[in-house]
Amino acid sequence: MSSRRSRASRHREEDEINNHILKLQAAISQIQRTGTTSRASASKILKETCNFIKKLHREMEDLSERLSVLMASIDTNSAEAEVLISLLMQR
C-alpha cells in the first residue's frame, strides 16, 4: 500500500516539476518575443521552481534521516531488512 502511495506521490511531484518546466519555457519564449515586459512573470516562475526544488531537497533529507533511523533499528539479517533493501534497490 505504501509503495502505491509512494508512486502516486512521485507521479504528482513529476507532474508538478513538468508543469513548472512548461511555465518556464513559455516565459522564456515570451521574453524572447517581447523583450523585458514579462521579466516579472519569468522571475516569479523561477522563484516558484526554486522553492519547489528546495522543498523536494528538504523532503529527501527528511526521508534519508528517517531511513537511517529505521536501518539502525532493524536486524540486518531479518526478513524486514531484506524487504527494505529490495525496495531500496528498486528505482
Q: What pLDDT digit, counting tens, does each position of 25-80 carry?
A: 777 777 667 665 555 676 777 787 788 889 889 999 998 898 888 888 888 788 88
Q: Which pLDDT belongs to residue 1?
A: 45
Count of structural domains within the chain: 1
Nearest Cα to Cα of residue 31 among 39, 19, 43, 23: 39
Task: Cell numbers for 30, please give them.
Answer: 515570451
The domain in which residue 25 lies consists of: 2-89
Task: Cell numbers for 51, please give them.
Answer: 522553492
Give the Cα separation of 7 and 20 in Å (integer).
20
Q: Residue 14: CB partners within 8 Å, gap ≥ 6? A: none
Nearest Cα to Cα of residue 27 among 50, 45, 52, 14: 45
Question: Given pLDDT bands bounded at 50, 70 and 90, which one contains residue 20?
Answer: confident
Q: Which pLDDT belongs to residue 62?
A: 92
